Amino acid sequence: MTVMLRVVENEEQIRGCQSALLDVVKVASSKIADHYVGFQGGTDYATVYYLRKYDIWMTLDERSDHYFNCVGLGDPFIHDAPAPVVEINVPMGYPSQRAGRFLVDSEGRHYLGHTGRVGGGKKGVSKANFMKYFKGYSFVWEGGIEEPMYVIGALDGSELIGHIKDFARISADFRESIKRGVLRYDGKNDDGFSPEFDGSVHYEVSRVIDANFEHGKIVLRLVEILEDQGWEVSNNQKMDVVAVKAKDDVAAVKLLFEVKTRANSSSIYSAIGQLLFNRGDAKEVIAVFPESLGSELIGRLEGLGIKVVLYRMGKSDYDFLRLGEILDANMIRRLTA
């Protein structure tokens, strides 16, 4: 199913969206005060909103040609000029290099979006590399062209502030990974791979958007775990995660992972088709589902030669059940091959 949103380009409608976003942030704020905000080129003065429940801060000021929407982590008022970790500045006119966007669906519901241009001034910090790092984007119409876009959440949705925090944290982690040399991207764009949402056309657009965003976070967490355990990880247009271990002249082991955010029949059929069709020389193909997937369905998938990993939200991030035993078994296989 393709769900398409459109970028709002009318200045009056953009103003209305900004006002709605401001209302949401005000309600969630525990402290509001004018304060300096730090940048590479100096400082700026703005009204700063601290959302203690989420431990983030935001600015939502109006400038001459855009809305100054910055997001930072932690309490801003314990610093003289805290630096934001991401800017979601929305232009008042188009075309524009600003990264923030407001979007609208066919029912007239509005959303906050980001193009993926996270900035930062360091080599390797680019839109292309960020989109390789975090796959939680959708596709929207902008200027008559289908463009990738991170749809952070509906302006009237209960998950909006939580998704803003997630997006800010992921942006900060991306830049830190570039800085530490953990990520070594060539800067070239890839094949334009986008996560798929498997579901009925009767589902609301907001649920599709949430599924795409969640999909990206799950994949990112899975990659972090695999890399921590020494796997070389990549992805492509066909599969969510490809993990390989090959060292010391020992036979390589290749694993393919496909992540689904729902445990319904269409998601299961899609995972089966993608994994078996793209298996190639992989030693294992692994479907990742929410923990609500029942034992009968797990058994049927494994009867087809597909391993199953279940995920759930832990205290601070996603936990993966059954992943450890699959990785351990494949390490034994590799070392004894």
Q: Mark whether 161 and 249 lie in a shared domain.
A: no
pTM of the model as a whole: 0.75
Q: What is the full per-residue pLDDT of the chain (337 aa) written as tens digits?
A: 445 799 999 999 999 999 999 999 999 999 999 999 998 778 999 999 999 999 999 999 999 999 999 999 999 999 999 999 999 999 998 878 899 999 999 889 999 999 999 876 677 888 988 888 888 888 899 988 899 999 999 999 888 999 999 999 999 988 888 877 665 444 444 433 333 333 333 335 667 777 888 888 999 999 999 988 888 888 766 788 888 886 655 557 899 999 999 898 888 999 999 999 999 889 999 999 999 999 999 999 999 999 999 999 888 889 999 899 888 877 655 444 4
Query: What is the span of the domain harbouring residue 78?
Result: 1-194
Q: Mark whether 118 and 57 lie in a shared domain.
A: yes
Q: Mark whether 104 and 250 lie in a shared domain.
A: no
Neighbour tally for 199: CB within 10 Å: 17
CATH of the domain at 324: 3.40.1350
Q: Mark whether 35 and 79 lie in a shared domain.
A: yes
- On whether residue 209 sits in a domain, the answer given is no
Q: Mark whether 130 and 19 lie in a shared domain.
A: yes
Would you state the torsion angle of the CA atoms of residues 106, 107, 108, 112, taken in this order, to the nearest 10 degrees?
Answer: -70
Q: Mark whether 227 and 147 lie in a shared domain.
A: no
The three-class DSSP label of residue 256 is strand
Query: DSSP per residue over 297-336, as a string?
Result: HHHHHHHTTEEEEEEEE-SSSEEEESHHHHHHHHHHHHHH
- CB contact at 8 A, 35 and 61: no
Among 177, 194, 211, the domain boundary falls at 194
- On whether residue 200 sits in a domain, the answer given is no
Q: Mark whether 57 and 101 lie in a shared domain.
A: yes
